Structures are given as C-alpha cells and as structure tokens.
C-alpha cells in the first residue's frame, strides 16, 4: 500500500506539500472507514418500532382463518373466505397456495400477509397470517 502511495520515490525526497497531501488522504480514508463502521453498527442495532395495528390485523386474520376454514374445504370456500375479507390474492400453483397482502403499515415497514395452502385436489390444508418486516 505504501508503495502505491509513495511510488518509487522515497518519503524524504518528496516536497512537504506532497507529504501533507499523502497524510491528508490517509487520514480521510481512515475517518471515512470509521464513519462507515459506526453507521453500520447503528444500523444493525436499530429496530423498527412494533406496529400494533399490524399485529392486531395479523391476530384477527389468524383467528378468522382458524374459525372459518377447515381442512378439506374446497377451493371455492377458500376463495370465498378471501373475498369476504376483501383480500385480493394470487394463486401460486407450484406451491399450491393463495397469497394475499392484508395490510401495509403507513411507514411501509410492516406487511400482514395471508397464506392459505391447498392439497393437490385444491382442498384447504392450512393457513397462516404473518406480520412481515419489510424494511429497517
């Protein structure tokens, strides 16, 4: 590294202004690294505050899933459940699941997702409402 900064000339053969410039660049690089490290530590240590609305939405939806859907219910009942709760969904045929975003917090940090799985005949297997942290 010092060879790259100094080149083939020795330190003592450089003018004072060149020495100061080299030291200044080194100081800036060290400071920038320290600032970056502090920023990374602060970012890792920070958390998004809990979204009580998202948690309540998740809880309510999970209770509705557990109460209204039963193992073996046909796909029409699954779709009716989603419509009844105003959930626009996508059906992912590879994973045999319905996925819907039920809620997005005002700050965009939380999404409540509903996932309903079906068997190979399209019948309900299980469901889950999840509060997903989408950003820090």
Q: Which two tokens stand for residue 76?
A: 């029409």
Cα(41)–Cα(74) distance, rounded to whole angstroms?
50
- 3-state DSSP percent of the chain in helix, strand and coil, to 5: 50, 25, 30
Q: Domains of the chain: which residue ranges? A: 2-45, 52-133
Spatial CA neighbour of 115 closest among 95, 135, 134: 95
In tens digits, the chain (136 residues) has pLDDT values of 455 555 556 656 667 777 777 777 877 877 666 555 444 444 444 455 567 777 888 899 999 999 999 999 999 999 999 999 999 999 999 999 999 988 877 777 778 899 999 999 999 999 999 888 776 5
Question: Phi and psi dihedrals of 95, rounded to 5?
Answer: -95, 0
What pLDDT shows up at residue 12?
63
């Amino acid at each position: 590294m010092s060879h790259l900064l100094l080149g083939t000339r020795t330190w003592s053969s450089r003018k004072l202004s060149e020495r100061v410039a080299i030291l200044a660049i080194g100081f800036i690089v060290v400071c920038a690294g320290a600032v970056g490290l502090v920023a990374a530590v602060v970012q890792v240590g920070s958390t998004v505050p809990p979204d009580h609305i998202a948690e309540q939405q998740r809880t309510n939806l999970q209770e509705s899933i557990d109460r209204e859907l039963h193992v073996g219910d046909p796909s029409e009942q699954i779709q009716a459940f989603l419509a009844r709760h105003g959930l626009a969904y996508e059906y992912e045929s590879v994973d045999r699941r319905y996925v819907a975003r039920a809620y997005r917090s005002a700050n965009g940090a939380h999404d409540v997702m509903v996932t309903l799985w079906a068997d190979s005949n399209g019948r309900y297997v299980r469901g889950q409402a999840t509060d997903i942290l989408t950003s820090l």
